[in-house]
Amino acid sequence: MAFYGVDLKSRLLLGTARYPSPKILADAIQSSGAEVVTVSLRRESGPERSGQSFWALVRSMGVRVLPNTAGCHSVKEAVTTAHMARELFDTPWIKLEVIRDDDTLQPDVFGLVEAARILTEEGFEVFPYTTEDLSVADRLVEAGSRVLMPWGAPIGSARGLNNVYGLKALRAHFPDIPLVVDAGLGVPSHAAAAMELGYDAVLLNTAVAEAGDPVAMAKAFALAIEAGHMAFKAQPMEPRDMAVPSTPTIGRAALGD
């Protein structure tokens, strides 16, 4: 799997917010095998640069950082945050979020496309957090995005894949674009289901960070993602309307009365 020419072995991207402690975060990253973690610029902000210890921890893990524009509600805010993140984290990668609705945290798809175009023209490699809408995805690709990150369900909802049909259609429409299910997954079976649809990766945060044992849950998701990807590659059988016996009926012995 590759994002913008960077080859990765792990298909799990892990968020870094809401963990009970820095040690648990570090242990969860190690347990998951994730090679990419998302980081919000807001962790580096505030009085006395309180995020410096967090940034030092992330760097010590040897993982690639994907900064995000979490909490941005306008194109201007998202673009400004992206520039600050590039300067701070020294990477052209940016997970682009432009939020419209505070209750569902649904993306503002119009602002998202505009911000993606601006940032791509300025040399960023954009990972847009979007919906499963095909027309929006088309616009994002036209704007220069080479990765798409549709939600499974609203952020932190743990509802799984709300629109399997839409996600399948997106995969079929963009066979050569890396697709990452981002947000809304709650248990490892949700992640396996996403991978069985042919998705390239999954991005998680809350489902791991707020589990009773985040370290064990990170490992469980990693295993589920691997199993789901293997199942997709193995070409699973199609569902059927009628039962089909696994034991052949031809040649069955005829027993008399």
Please calculate the CA angle 223-225-226 and round it to the nearest 5 degrees. 65
Q: Are 179 and 200 in contact (CB under 8 A)?
A: yes
Amino acid at 191: A
Phi, psi of 250 (to 5 degrees): -70, 135
CA pair distance 132, 169, nearest whole angstrom: 9
Q: According to the annotation, is 152 in a ligand binding site? A: no
Helix axes 52-60, 22-32, angle to 10 degrees: 30
**Closest CA relative to residue 66, chosen from 34, 44, 37, 87:** 37
Q: According to the annotation, is 91 in a ligand binding site? A: no
Q: According to the annotation, is 183 in a ligand binding site? A: yes
Q: Are 140 and 112 in contact (CB under 8 A)?
A: yes
Q: According to the annotation, is 158 in a ligand binding site? A: no
Q: According to the annotation, is 156 in a ligand binding site? A: yes
Q: Residues with Cβ < 8 Å from 197, sequence gap 6 or more?
A: 161, 164, 167, 168, 171, 232
Active centre residues (catalytic): 95
* Other CB atoms within 10 Å distance of the CB of residue 27: 16
* Other CB atoms within 10 Å distance of the CB of residue 93: 23
Please calculate the CA angle 181-185-186 and round it to the nearest 5 degrees. 160
> Radius of gyration over alpha carbons of the chain, in Å?
21
The annotated binding site for 1-deoxy-D-xylulose 5-phosphate is made up of 156, 183-184, 205-206
The annotated binding site is made up of 156, 183-184, 205-206
